[in-house]
Amino acid sequence: MSQQPVHHNGMWWSRDSSGLVSFYDDRESAWKPWDPKATQVSPPVEWAQGQPVAYPSASPQYGGGYPQQPVYVVQNSTNGMAIASLVLGIMWLWWLGSILALIFGYVGKSQIDRSGGQQSGRGMAIAGIVLGWIGVAILVLFIVLVVAVSPQAGV
């Protein structure tokens, strides 16, 4: 195609040195010769009169041979159990929060893994689990210290 393609009537048009007019078919991602009897659209008026088109334009965007598919954006949400696990792990609530952080953390992490990318918050669930185990470890140490320091009964 010797003449630079032009955009006219919503389509890209080109004409070679012999005067053959072609248009770019988006549905088939290919250039096709223009047949005035077979198509409803027409090239620029100057070409119908045999003159070159005087206005410049950008080249068409060539597809990779595949039509564009619609893109569906699915908005993922943060898992509520993961949020609760993190909050309870931070606030421990006299070790009850630590135990609940473990429960909510493991349940939330499982839900996130099964959601197929629909839910986020895996890092929060893991952080809640870690904080829950730290709270439980502190509870165990506290119980051991209380038992060790308390007076022996019956001795």
pLDDT of residue 33: 79
pLDDT of residue 105: 97
Residues 103 and 44 in one domain: no
Residues 88 and 33 in one domain: no
Domain region containing 88: 77-149
- Would 155 be classed as within a structural domain? no
pLDDT of residue 54: 44
Query: Does residue 146 have a pLDDT over 90?
Result: yes
Residues 85 and 66 in one domain: no
- The count of domains in the chain is 2
- Would 119 be classed as within a structural domain? yes
Q: Are 102 and 131 in contact (CB under 8 A)?
A: no
H or E element at residue 60: none
Residues 92 and 47 in one domain: no
Domain endpoint, select from 30, 51, 72: 72
Mind listing the pLDDT tens digit for each residue in 27-63? 777 777 777 777 777 777 666 555 554 444 445 455 5
Query: Does residue 138 have a pLDDT over 60?
Result: yes
Q: Pick the residue with more confidence: 11 or 57? A: 11
Mind listing the pLDDT tens digit for each residue in 69-128? 565 556 789 999 999 999 999 997 778 999 999 999 999 999 999 988 889 999 999 999
- Would 154 be classed as within a structural domain? no
Residues 19 and 44 in one domain: yes
* CA 145 – CA 4 distance, rounded (Å): 86
* CA 134 – CA 36 distance, rounded (Å): 79
Looking from the CA of 86 toward its CB, the CA atoms found within 13 Å total 14
Domain endpoint, select from 72, 102, 125: 72
* CA 4 – CA 51 distance, rounded (Å): 14
Residues 66 and 132 in one domain: no
Domain endpoint, select from 72, 89, 121: 72
Tokens of 151: 């007076």
Tokens of 51: 């003159």
- Would 22 be classed as within a structural domain? yes
Strands 21-25 and 77-78: unpaired
Residues 41 and 93 in one domain: no
Residues 43 and 103 in one domain: no
Residues 57 and 113 in one domain: no
pLDDT of residue 56: 42
pLDDT of residue 50: 57
pLDDT of residue 89: 94
